[in-house]
Amino acid sequence: MIKHANANRALKRRLGRSVDTSEKGCWAASFDSSKLFFLPCAVITPRQEEEIGEVLTLANKYGVPVTVRGRGTTLMGSAAPVAGGWVIDMLKLNRIRIDDESGMAHVQAGATTGDVQRAADGAGWFYPPDPSSKEFCTIGGNIACNAGGMHGGKYGVTRDFVICLRGYLPTGEAVQWGTATKKNASGFNLRDLWIGGEGMLGVVTGAVLKLVPKPVSRWTLLTAFKTETAAVNAARKLFKQRVQPAICEFLDRESVHCAESATGRSVFQGQNDRAVILLEMAGSVSEVKEQSKTVRAWAKDHAVAYRVARDRDAAEQLWEVRRKCSGAMFELGDSKLNEDIVIPMRSYSKFITFLRKLKTSSGLAIPTFGHLADGNLHVNIMYHRDDPKESKIAEETVALLMKTVVELGGAISGEHGIGLAKTPFLRIQYSAAEVKAMQAVKNALDPKGVLNPGKMFEVFEMWKHQKMTIHLPWDHK
């Protein structure tokens, strides 16, 4: 018997052309970038925001699980419909309007981050949150995961740019959290509850986003260090001088080797086997000029070598290094546990020491890179899935990593969220009372538990589940 057959019929009667129950349509919505596979029984692609309220009302009536999908770029399995049911695909809700006077972008949740950035840029404004997946991922997905990116240290993450939200409660009622004004102190701030809510507390249909003046000048510098410890200690000294790089990307030696193997070029000619930091200063001409002087002096004092990009093309070549390192890691193992932990600056050097020992004790390659200005490091545990011994070591290694991160005062996720992949570690970060409070919020807003069930609180051991073999548009070649 087809699951939810009555509910599907009611859905089709109500929303007709927006509903797809075909095998092909359901298959396309059955996975996200985690490559875990769970078949839904209908996909709704609303053309009007109101349709979402109707879907949720029916879901509550018939007890059908609902998962919202931006573009499915999450690596955590948070958009995978683990309980089946219906998927709401936000693809067609993608309008963008720039309020030039107030410096705000009025966007529908299905607009991609890249399109929002281009619209802002066209009007002389700048929208800084820049997940590397920005040409694919949506503003709704960014809000649900509180997405970050390389600009986090100077500008902040998605949360810092959301002025107000509108959408639907899991029960199907329309709500708006906040107003399109720069100030609002009216009532509880439920807007911030939705940001990072991972699509479990409501469906975002639209947002008003803060824009900042476009930086007119940029200056890019590559620095090389003998060791990872030397690199992170040097970065801390730079921050103490009140320098705020727009980007400050660290690559450990293993990541540098990956980038070199991907590009076939030396990352820093004449400097073999070095950890590197790529810096970009951005702002007004005078601001960048002033800061670049300080940074150059810092590089002279602390780096073994440094190179300033002559122009934007040269800078782009340096950024290519950063972009390419991640894909090349699959030469070190066919599977990756891709962690996006956050470490407080004071613990940088302790963490680097821990990581060095972890690499030795596990025998696994663990290339690590990330954003030093906000402590968000991408730790990539590489292993071979068909090797039971390596898989077991990878599982133990990630658990030890998470425990240490929390002991050092850090966070188990800085930008990807919990989804399914990080559920085994939620209780390392939060006490029983804290998890209970989160569950109480979920139950209050979603008494029938229809919206994105099975995520966050129920432990899901990702490494025990078969993944699909599929190449997604954003996967590295």
Ligand X SMILES: Cc1cc2nc3c(=O)[nH]c(=O)nc-3n(C[C@H](O)[C@H](O)[C@H](O)COP(=O)(O)OP(=O)(O)OC[C@H]3O[C@@H](n4cnc5c(N)ncnc54)[C@H](O)[C@@H]3O)c2cc1C
Applying CB under 6 A, the residues found at the interface with ligand X are 32-33, 67-75, 78-79, 90, 109, 131-133, 137-138, 140-142, 144-145, 147-149, 198-199, 203-204, 415-416, 452, 474
Residue 44 vs 288, nearer CB to ligand X: 44
Q: Which residues, other chains included, contact 443 with Cβ-Cβ below 8 Å and sequence gap of 6+?
A: 449
Residue 32 vs 390, nearer CB to ligand X: 32
Q: Which residues, other chains included, contact 112 with Cβ-Cβ below 8 Å and sequence gap of 6+?
A: 71, 94, 134, 135, 136, 137, 138, 139
The least CB distance from residue 421 to ligand X, in Å, is 11
CA angle 188, 190, 195 (to 5 degrees): 150
What whole-number distance in Å separates Cα of residue 165 and Cα of residue 192? 9
The least CB distance from residue 270 to ligand X, in Å, is 30
Residue 140 vs 298, nearer CB to ligand X: 140
Residue 72 vs 128, nearer CB to ligand X: 72
Residue 8 vs 33, nearer CB to ligand X: 33
The least CB distance from residue 117 to ligand X, in Å, is 13
In sequence order, which ranges of 380-475 are alpha helices (DSSP H)?
388-407, 426-429, 432-445
- Look up residue 360 and give its amino acid: T
SS3 6: helix
The least CB distance from residue 233 to ligand X, in Å, is 25
SS3 126: strand
Residue 202 vs 303, nearer CB to ligand X: 202
- C-alpha closest to that of 250 among 305, 312, 313, 321: 321
SS3 460: coil
The least CB distance from residue 148 to ligand X, in Å, is 4
The least CB distance from residue 156 to ligand X, in Å, is 12
The least CB distance from residue 74 to ligand X, in Å, is 3
Q: Please answer whether residues 456 and 418 qualify as being in contact, where contact means their C-beta atoms are separated by less than 8 angstroms.
A: yes
Q: Which helix (H) or strand (E) holds 27?
A: helix 23-28
Residue 195 vs 303, nearer CB to ligand X: 195
